[in-house]
């Protein structure tokens, strides 16, 4: 029984690590994307650079005012 539980735990840990390594950093996570789309409804959040993704997430989860305007400015560059 202990062997089965140990094997299951190792599989679960390695599966999570593999998933984390396969997620590209230039893709806005779906939760962040939905929040950003509510602020800037007609914006295109596809084909972002890693720097744009990081900047948008910093705006979304920081204490920024005028978040929609700041996101528009990032998308224009």
CB atoms within 10 A of CB 18: 9
DSSP state of 42: T
Tokens found for residue 50: 């890693």
Question: What tens digit of pLDDT does each residue of 18-69 get?
Answer: 555 545 677 899 999 999 999 999 999 999 999 999 999 999 999 888 999 9
The pLDDT value recorded for residue 60 is 94
DSSP state of 23: S
All residues at 6 or more sequence positions from 62 whose CB lies less than 8 Å from its CB, including other chains:
none
The pLDDT value recorded for residue 70 is 95
All residues at 6 or more sequence positions from 74 whose CB lies less than 8 Å from its CB, including other chains:
52, 55, 56, 59
The pLDDT value recorded for residue 64 is 83
């Amino acid at each position: 029984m202990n062997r089965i539980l140990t094997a299951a735990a190792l599989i679960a840990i390695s599966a999570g690590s593999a998933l984390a390594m396969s997620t590209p950093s230039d893709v806005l996570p779906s939760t962040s994307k939905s929040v950003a789309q509510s602020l800037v409804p007609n914006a295109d959040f596809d084909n972002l650079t890693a720097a744009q993704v990081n900047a948008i997430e910093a705006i979304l989860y920081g204490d920024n005012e005028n978040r929609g305007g700041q996101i528009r400015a990032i998308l224009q560059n």
